[in-house]
Structure 1
Amino acid sequence: MTFRPADLAPAGLQRVCASGRLAVVRKDGRTAVETLYQEGAAKIRMPLTETGTPEAVLINTAGGLTGGDVVDWRIEAGEGTSLVLTTQACEKIYRAASGRAEASVRLSVASGARVAWLPQESIVFDRSAFRRRLFVDLAEGAEALILEATIFGRLAMGECVGRAEFRDCWRVRQEGRLIHGEDFAAGPDLSAMLAGRAATGGAVAMATLLLVSPRAADRLDEVRAVIGDADGASAWRVGRTGKLLARLVAPDGYGLRKRLVPLVDLLNGRAGLPKTWSI
Structure 2
Amino acid sequence: MTTFSSLPVFQQVVAESGHRFDANRQWVASLTLGFGAHSNSNSNTSITRMNIARHYGPLRVQRPFYPEGPEGCCHVYILHPPGGLVSGDALNIDVNVTENAHTLLTTPAANKLYKADSNGVAWSQSTNLKVADGAILEWLPQETLAFDGSVGVQNFNIELAENAKCLGWEILCLGRPASELPFASGHLEQRFQLSRNDRPLWLERQALDPKHSRFNGKWGQGGTTVHATLWTVGLNDPMEAITALREHITATEHWAVTFRRGVLLLRYLGDERNQVWDLFQQARDILRPRLTGHQATVPRIWLT
- Please give the range of the TM-score, normalised by the shorter of the 2 chains: 0.7 to 0.9
Deviation (angstroms), 1:263: 2.1
Deviation per CA, 1:30-74, whole angstroms, max 9, x where unpaired?
A: 111211112111011135232121111111111210121010000
Q: Partners of 1:231 and 1:21 in 2: how far apart?
A: 34
Mapping for residues 95-110 of structure 1, pairs under 5 Å = 95-97=115-117, 98-110=120-132
Deviation per CA, 1:129-181, whole angstroms, max 9, x where unpaired?
A: 12111111111110111211100013223321101201001111111111111
Classify the secondary structure of the residue corresponding to 2:278: helix
Q: Which runs of 5+ in 1 are unaligned?
A: 1-9
- Check 1:213–1:85 CA distance in 2 against 1; reply closer, same or farther (3 A cut): same
Is contact 2:50-2:64 (8 Å) kept? no
* Aligned-pair Cα RMSD in Å: 2.0
Is contact 1:16-1:62 (8 Å) kept? no
Q: Which runs of 5+ in 2 are unaligned?
A: 1-20, 40-45, 290-294
Q: Partners of 1:14 and 1:175 in 2: how far apart?
A: 36
Is contact 1:24-1:77 (8 Å) kept? yes
- Check 1:20–1:60 CA distance in 2 against 1; reply closer, same or farther (3 A cut): same
Is contact 1:44-1:57 (8 Å) kept? yes
Deviation (angstroms), 1:214: 3.7
Task: Tell me the equivalent position of 2:242.
Answer: 220
1:21 and 2:38 aligned: no
Q: Partners of 2:83 and 2:111 in 1: how far apart?
A: 8
Mapping for residues 225-240 of structure 1, pairs under 5 Å = 225-226=248-249, 227-236=251-260, 238=261
Is contact 1:217-1:244 (8 Å) kept? no
The correspondence for 2:221, drawn from 181, 192, 200, is: 200
Q: Which amino acid aligns with 1:22?
A: L
1:274 and 2:299 aligned: yes
Identical columns (%): 24
Q: How many residues align?
A: 265
Is contact 1:71-1:102 (8 Å) kept? yes
Q: Which amino acid aligns with 1:61?
A: P
Task: Tell me the equivalent position of 2:63.
Answer: 46
Task: Tell me the equivalent position of 2:175.
Answer: 153
- Check 1:77–1:174 CA distance in 2 against 1; reply closer, same or farther (3 A cut): same
Q: Partners of 1:155 and 1:257 in 2: how far apart?
A: 17
Deviation per CA, 1:231-270, whole angstroms, max 9, x where unpaired?
A: 110123x3xxx22111102223223223222223333343
Classify the secondary structure of the residue corresponding to 2:85: coil
Is contact 1:116-1:268 (8 Å) kept? no
Q: Partners of 1:267 and 1:67 in 2: how far apart?
A: 38
The correspondence for 1:180, drawn from 176, 199, 202, is: 202
Is contact 1:265-1:273 (8 Å) kept? no
Q: Partners of 1:13 and 1:265 in 2: how far apart?
A: 45
Q: Which amino acid aligns with 1:232?
A: A
Deviation per CA, 1:100-154, whole angstroms, max 9, x where unpaired?
A: 1111111110001010111111100111112111111111110111211100013
Question: Which protein, 1 or 2, shows the higher relative CO under an 8 Å CA cutoff with sep ≥ 6?
Answer: 1
Task: Tell me the equivalent position of 1:5.
Answer: none
Q: Which amino acid aligns with 1:195?
A: N
Task: Tell me the equivalent position of 2:50.
Answer: 33
Q: Partners of 2:272 and 2:214 in 1: how far apart?
A: 17
The correspondence for 2:270, drawn from 233, 240, 250, is: 250
Classify the secondary structure of the residue corresponding to 1:210: strand
* Higher gyration radius (CA): 2
Q: Partners of 2:287 and 2:299 in 1: how far apart?
A: 12
Q: Which amino acid aligns with 1:45?
A: Q
Is contact 1:154-1:252 (8 Å) kept? no
Using the size of structure 1 for normalisation, the TM-score is 0.88
